[in-house]
Amino acid sequence: MAGNSEQVITPTMHHINLKTTKLQEMIDWYGLVIGAKPNFQNPVLAFITHDRANHRIALLAVPGLHDDPQKFVHTGIHHTAFEYASFADLMSTYARLKRAGIEPQFCLNHGLTTSLYYPDPDQNMVELQVDNFGDWEASAEWMRTSDDFRNDPIGSFFDADAVLAAYEGGATFEQLQIDTRGGKFPPKKQPDLNLPPLG
């Protein structure tokens, strides 16, 4: 009987819901960055998606909302993340967004992923990533068992322009992972994580 089972049936993560005072700006930004399009929109809400799901992001812009000047020290969501199939796709997206005037706030070789973090119009961070192993099983196993990850679960910040130039110059993704982990392409400025000061 379905009602008597103690089995935890694992659902698929489907969508996030963000409250905003900048509805159209948010729709446009997610359209440009991840290719999301509205399946439904009215003056106070929108349901947008970048794949076959009816919506992946719900945007609520009901009257009475206001921005949080202390957002970065309040609890709640820090970022959402979207994964590309390849490093080439991530770098192509980096270059396309840069041409459109959108640049990451910080870039991180996280060990298990290579990730670019962008602030959306409400300063919710959006991580665009690629799996460093190209394989969820392998990166999950590495996360569980690697001393490297245990010792440094955040990873190494890098400068995306320098990495893109090296990639276009023939460096492989594998080599660039070693290089960014080794600090070969340090960021030009101190990364701003949209968090209280660490340490």
- Can you give the binding site for Fe ion, defined by CB under 5 A? 81, 127
Q: Which is nearer to Fe ion, 81 or 140 (CB)?
A: 81
CB of 142 to Fe ion, least distance (A): 16
Q: Which is nearer to Fe ion, 46 or 111 (CB)?
A: 111
The answer to whether 49 touches 13, Cβ cutoff 8 Å, is no
Smallest CA-to-CA distance from 116 within 79, 146, 72, 153 is with 79
- Measured CA to CA, the distance from residue 104 to residue 159 in angstroms comes to 10
Is residue 105 classed exposed, middle or buried when 0-12, 13-18 and 19+ CB atoms within 10 A define those classes? Answer: middle
CB of 147 to Fe ion, least distance (A): 21
The conformation of residue 194, written as its DSSP 8-state character, comes to S
Smallest CA-to-CA distance from 104 within 197, 193, 195 is with 193
Pairing mode of beta strands 79-84, 57-60: unpaired
Q: Which is nearer to Fe ion, 53 or 81 (CB)?
A: 81
Q: Which is nearer to Fe ion, 81 or 100 (CB)?
A: 81
CB of 194 to Fe ion, least distance (A): 12
- Count Cβ atoms below 10 Å from residue 126 Cβ, excluding itself: 19
CB of 92 to Fe ion, least distance (A): 21
> Cα angle at 191 between 186 and 196, to 5 degrees?
150
The one-letter amino acid code at 166 reads A
Q: Which is nearer to Fe ion, 127 or 131 (CB)?
A: 127
CB of 79 to Fe ion, least distance (A): 6
